[in-house]
Homo-oligomer: A and B are copies of this chain.
Amino acid sequence: MQNNLSGIFPPLVTVFEDDELNLDRLTRNVRKYERRDLSGYVLFGSNGESVFLTRDEKLEIILSVREQTKKSLIVGTGSDSIKDTIQLTNEAADKGADFALIISPSFFKTEMKHHAFLNYYNKVAGSVMIPVIIYNVPKFTNVNVEVETIIELSKHPNIIGLKESTEIVPRISEIAANVHPGFKLIVGTASVLYAGLISGASGGILALANLLPDECLKVYQSVKEEKLDEALDLQNRLIPVNKAVTNKFGVAGLKAAMDILGYDGGNPRLPLEPLNEAQLIELKMILKSASFLE
């Protein structure tokens, strides 16, 4: 598979019913996304509640989504354990994953620096059957993979991209300008889609694309066509909604917004809880105020 990491990828939410997987409802979402010009899907991103899923549940989900699409399937398979990461990645590949999205190890925070990250990613990338995408998400890991480390890792033939989930645009710019040719940087949140694309990113893995896929695609297209004003206007409408479904209300908010806009989010898994009534009202007001809901 060639490295076609550009465009928009929704990191799919996992649909639960009575706290158990409901694959039918999940694949119904996928069928709706399939009618759009999305580049593929991410399974087991942060907002996919991957930390609450068992290994067996993950493999089931891959099989099920793989049946629905020929597009790129990027699958989150990383953990602090190199052994577990390699094993799960290869099992995922076996079930149909195209790329492995591998979150930076993070438990021993003070030791997770340049050398430890090189050790980790080089070992993993050399032992798995599908290409690796580094996943840097300090808001969840409380560690940061430095620019120099990314540049160094970009030389590995089986490390082909970075999902950068900070809003620090200078990082995007500096990384994109200095990595090995062919290595792609994908922004990890819709808030920096416009600025990221203009600074060298090739696409976005965007929680927001679960509920507003067309609008995310539109920002992407407008930038490609150099219609900057149009892109910025739409970007500015997306920012408050993106804040609501990520930092403000978290996964519960993301799923609630999907429900409101005609997709199927449902409740988050325990220990998370669904939004309460007041939060739901606030969420609707945010959607209305940005004109995504009447």
Q: Which residues of A contact B (CB under 8 A)?
A: 46, 51-54, 79-84, 87, 105, 107-112, 115-117, 119-120, 123, 139-140, 142, 167-170, 173-174, 177, 191-192, 194-195, 198-200, 228, 232, 235-236, 239-240, 247, 250-252, 269-273
Known interface pairs A115-B273, A270-B82, A271-B82. Does A170 touch B173 (Cβ–Cβ under 8 Å)? no
Q: SS class of chain A's interface: helix, strand, loop or mixed?
A: helix
Determine if B198 and A236 form an interchain contact, defined as CB atoms under 8 angstroms apart.
no
When the two chains form their complex, are residues A271 and B169 in contact, meaning their CB atoms are under 8 A apart? no
In the complex the two chains form, is B199's CB within 8 Å of A232's CB?
yes
Show 5 residue pairs from A and B whose CB-CB distance is below 8 angstroms, ordered by the A residue.
Answer: A54-B84, A116-B272, A120-B271, A173-B235, A195-B195
Report how many copies the assembly holds: 4
Name the one of B107, B198, B251 contacting A108, with C-beta atoms under 8 angstroms.
B251
Contacts of A228 in B (CB 8 A): 198
In the assembled complex, the Cα of A140 lies from the Cα of B112 at a distance in Å of 12
Q: Are B177 and A192 in contact (CB under 8 A)?
A: no
Cβ contact within 8 Å between B199 and A195: yes
**In the complex, what distance in Å separates the CA atom of A195 from the CA atom of B174?**
12
Instruction: Using A80-B52, A192-B170, A195-B198 as known contacts, say yes or no to A271 and B140 having CB atoms under 8 A apart.
Output: no
Chain B residues within 8 Å of A200, by CB:
232
> B173 contacts A239, CB within 8 Å?
yes
* A33 smallest CB distance to B (angstroms): 24
Is A140 in contact with B270, judged by CB distance below 8 angstroms? no
Pairwise interchain contact A111-B53, C-beta atoms closer than 8 A: no
Out of B107, B170, B199, B273, which one reaches A116, CB within 8 Å? B273
CB-contact partner of A270 in B53, B119, B168, under 8 A: B119
Cβ of B191 and Cβ of A107 under 8 Å apart? no
Chain B residues with Cβ below 8 Å from A54 are 81, 83-84, 87
Smallest Cβ-Cβ distance to A242: which chain B residue? B170
Separation of A200 and B235 alpha carbons in the complex (Å): 12
Determine whether the beta carbon of B236 is less than 8 Å from that of A52: no
Bound complex: CA of A52 vs CA of B139, how far in Å?
22
Roughly how many angstroms separate A239 CA and B220 CA in the complex, as a whole number?
25
Cβ A52 vs Cβ B82 within 8 A:
yes
Q: Judging by beta carbons under 8 Å apart, are A105 and B235 in contact?
A: no
* Other-chain residue from B107, B167, B194 in contact with A140 (beta carbon distance below 8 A): B107
- B residues within 8 A CB of A111? 250-252, 272
How far, in whole Å, are A132 and B105 apart by their CA atoms in the complex? 27
The answer to whether A105 and B169 have CB atoms under 8 Å apart is no
How far, in whole Å, are A252 and B113 apart by their CA atoms in the complex? 14
Most chain-B CB neighbours within 10 Å: which of A111, A119, A170, A269? Answer: A170
